């Protein structure tokens, strides 16, 4: 399954969740619902995936956690904020760079229309 195939299923799941739950809940609710929805679509999903950061030759114990990793190919970063900041977009691009993955989805569930809250971020795709 390609990144684009996975992305299509992710978008569908995001729309289903938004239509069912609406806006304004905590990010953790949307992450859990999205994990459940994607698992039910037959996708492999990992939540809170730790990713170490390497600086020069040093592996830093300080890393970050991906909200969701789908099929070991697509990162999903979930937000529920009034406005996404530029740093949120850069965050996903940095995650892609560090993990050497090609596709990330940034989704903000706290929007009036969910299509306005979904952003694809690519790294050499």
How far apart CA 31 and CA 28 sit, in angstroms, is 5
How far apart CA 26 and CA 23 sit, in angstroms, is 9
Percent pLDDT > 70 in the chain is: 98
What is the pTM (predicted TM-score) of this model? 0.93
Predicted local confidence at residue 13, as pLDDT:
98
The stretch 33-53 carries a mean pLDDT of 95
How far apart CA 42 and CA 56 sit, in angstroms, is 38
The stretch 32-53 carries a mean pLDDT of 95
Predicted local confidence at residue 60, as pLDDT:
81
Predicted local confidence at residue 86, as pLDDT:
96
Q: Which domains does the chain have, with CATH numbers?
A: 3-122 (3.40.1350)
Q: What is the DSSP string of 29-59?
A: HHHHHHHHHHHHTT--EEEEEEEEEEETTEE
pLDDT band, residue 125 (cuts 50/70/90): low
């Amino acid at each position: 399954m390609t990144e684009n195939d996975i992305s299509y299923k992710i978008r569908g799941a995001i729309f289903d969740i938004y239509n069912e739950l609406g806006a304004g809940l905590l990010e953790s609710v949307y992450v859990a619902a999205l994990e459940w929805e994607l698992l039910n679509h037959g996708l492999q999903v990992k939540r809170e995936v730790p990713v170490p950061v390497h600086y020069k030759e040093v592996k830093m114990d300080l890393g970050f956690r991906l909200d969701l990793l789908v099929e070991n190919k697509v990162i999903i970063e979930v937000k529920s904020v009034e406005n996404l900041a530029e740093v949120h977009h850069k965050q996903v691009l940095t995650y892609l760079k560090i993990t050497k993955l090609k596709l990330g989805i940034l989704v903000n569930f706290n929007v009036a229309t969910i299509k306005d809250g979904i952003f694809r971020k690519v790294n050499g795709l």
